Each structure stands twice: as C-alpha cells, then as structure tokens.
Structure 1
C-alpha cells in the first residue's frame, strides 16, 4: 500500500497564514507549526521545571507539530471568521475533524493508532498547552510585524496578548515576562 500522508503534510508550506492581513514577512502553516511545537515544548518544560507539572514535553511538542495538519485539506481559516459566532466555530471544528479522519485514512492501518491521538484527541492538558503555544506564536508574529512598522498588526497584537493573559497559565506568564521582550529587539540588540 502506498500512502500519501507525508506528501500531503509537506504541502503545508504552500498554505499562507494571515490571509486577511498585509504582511511584511509571509508565514506559512509549516513554519507556524514548527514554531508552535518549539513554543509548546518550552511551555511544557517551564510547567514541569518551575510549576510542579509532570506533562510529557515530547508529547506536547508532537501534538503541536500536527495541530494544524487538517489545514492541508481545509486551508487556513482567518481567526475573525473562524470565531465570528458559535455556529461557524462549531461547523469548522466538524470540518477539521473530517479532515483529520481523512488524513488518518491515508496512513497504513498499523500506523493509525499512533497518529490518531495526535491528530484527533490529545490529552486535555496537552491540548491546553498547544492552544497556548498556538496563540503565543500568533502574538510573536504580531509583535514582529509591528516592529517592522506594520501598523496593520497593532490591534491583533493587543487582542492576542489579552487572549494569552486569559489563559491564566503560569508558564505563559513566565514566557511573556522572560522571553517575549527579546522579540521586540533588533539583531544587534540581542547581542
């Protein structure tokens, strides 16, 4: 049996994010997924090392790496549309679930049980950390765009920061206080 699963996933690099916004630096879903995985892993490590957590940081990173895999079939739905009202959000969640099932069906049967929890139903603690990392990735994008002089992202930055604060997660607060200021610096200032 031949499987198209990974060939499909490799095409995530062709799906642009922030479609409704003028970008100084384009971002695709594959880049975003990598950054989200790095951030989710960091949040898990911070939770474990600083706040007594016992979450599997590797499992968190893997879940984050695949968190937008369904977008290879659905495309990236802009946040203002996706969250416009509960009916749209609910319908889109069902579309994502169908897309994830379609992706699973592309895998050889013996691999499906390994990928199913990653694509369809991660542990609630893992899900929370991935959602926080996803929002953190969006915030970093906004900060970098504003730093580049793109005022189009100013309101998005404020709204995304407020959403991050709304998680009430100590590891998110730690990341914001410890690491986030560096994203506003130039390369020379990072030395």
Structure 2
C-alpha cells in the first residue's frame, strides 16, 4: 500500500495561522506545532521535576507535535470563530475528528495503532498539557508581535495570559514566572 500520510503532514507549512490579524512575522502550523511540542515537553518535565508528577515528556511532546495535524485537511479556523459559538465549536470538533480519522486511515494498517494515540486518542492528562502548551505558544506569539510594535495583538495577549493563569497548572505558572519575560527581550538583551 502506498501512503500519502507524510506528504500530507509536510503540507502543514502551507497553513497560515492568525488569519484575522496583521502579523509582523507570519506563522504556519508546522512552526507552531514544533514550538507547541517543545513547550509541552518542557511542561511535562517541569511537572515531574518541580511538582512530583509522572507525565511522560516524550508522549506529551509527540501528542503536541500532531495536535493540529487535522488542519492539513480542515485549514486553521480563527479562535474567535471556533470558540465564539457553542454550536460552531461542537461542529468544528466533529470536523476535526473526521479529519484525524482520515489521516489515521492513510497509514498502513500496521502503523495505525502506533499513531492513534497522537492523532485520535489522547490521554486526558496528556491533552491537558498539550492544550496548555498550545495556549502558551499563542501567548508567546502575542508577546513577540507586541515586542515588534504590533499593538493589534494587545487584547489577544491579555486574554491568552488570563486563560493560561486560569488553568491552575503549577507547571504553567512556573514557566510564566521563570521563562516568559525572556520572550520580550531583544537578542542583545538575551546575552
């Protein structure tokens, strides 16, 4: 069986995020997925090392890497649209699930069981860390846009920070306190 799975995944780089906002630095789904995976891994490590957790950083990172894979087939729906109406949110979740199953079906049968946990069957605790990493990635984007003088991201930054603080996850609070300020610095200031 020939499979188009990885060819589809490689097209993540063509799907632009933040379509309703003027961006100083465009961001695509592939870039975002990489950052979300790095952040999810970090949150799992922080949970384990600082707060006595037992998260599997590898499983969390892998789930984050694939968390927006369905957008290869659906495109990226802007957050205000996706979450602005419960009926739209529910319908979009169903569309995402269909796309995830379609992607999984593209794999040879012998590989599907290995990919199912990152495409369709994410453990609730893994999902919670991935959602936090996804939101953290969005917050970093907002901070970086503000640093570049793009005030269009001011409200999004405030709303996203509030959501992050509302998660009640100590690993997120630790990340915000320990690492977040650095994203507002220039390269010279990071030295």
Residue number in structure 1 paired with 2:109: 109
Residue number in structure 2 paired with 1:29: 29
Note the 1:1-191 alignment, pairs <5 A: 1-191=1-191
Where 2:104 maps in the other structure, the secondary structure is helix
TM-score for both structures, normalised by structure 1: 0.99
Query: How much does 1:85 deviate?
Result: 1.2
Runs of 4+ aligned structure 1 residues displaced above 3 Å come to none
After superposition, the C-alpha distances for 1:72-118 in whole angstroms (9 at most, x for unaligned) are: 00000000000011111000000000000000110000000111111
Query: How much does 1:143 deviate?
Result: 0.2
TM-score for both structures, normalised by structure 2: 0.99
For 2:55 and 2:160, the matched residues in 1 are separated by 25
After superposition, the C-alpha distances for 1:130-152 in whole angstroms (9 at most, x for unaligned) are: 00000000000000000000000
Where 1:122 maps in the other structure, the secondary structure is coil
For 1:86 and 1:119, the matched residues in 2 are separated by 23
Over the residues paired in the alignment, what is the CA RMSD in angstroms? 0.4
Query: How much does 1:48 deviate?
Result: 0.2
For 1:118 and 1:39, the matched residues in 2 are separated by 16
Structure 2 stretches lacking a partner, 5+ long: none
Query: How much does 1:121 deviate?
Result: 1.6
For 1:125 and 1:165, the matched residues in 2 are separated by 18
Structure 1 stretches lacking a partner, 5+ long: none
Alignment: residue pair count? 191
Query: How much does 1:23 deviate?
Result: 0.1
For 1:51 and 1:6, the matched residues in 2 are separated by 37
For 2:101 and 2:55, the matched residues in 1 are separated by 26
For 1:61 and 1:104, the matched residues in 2 are separated by 19
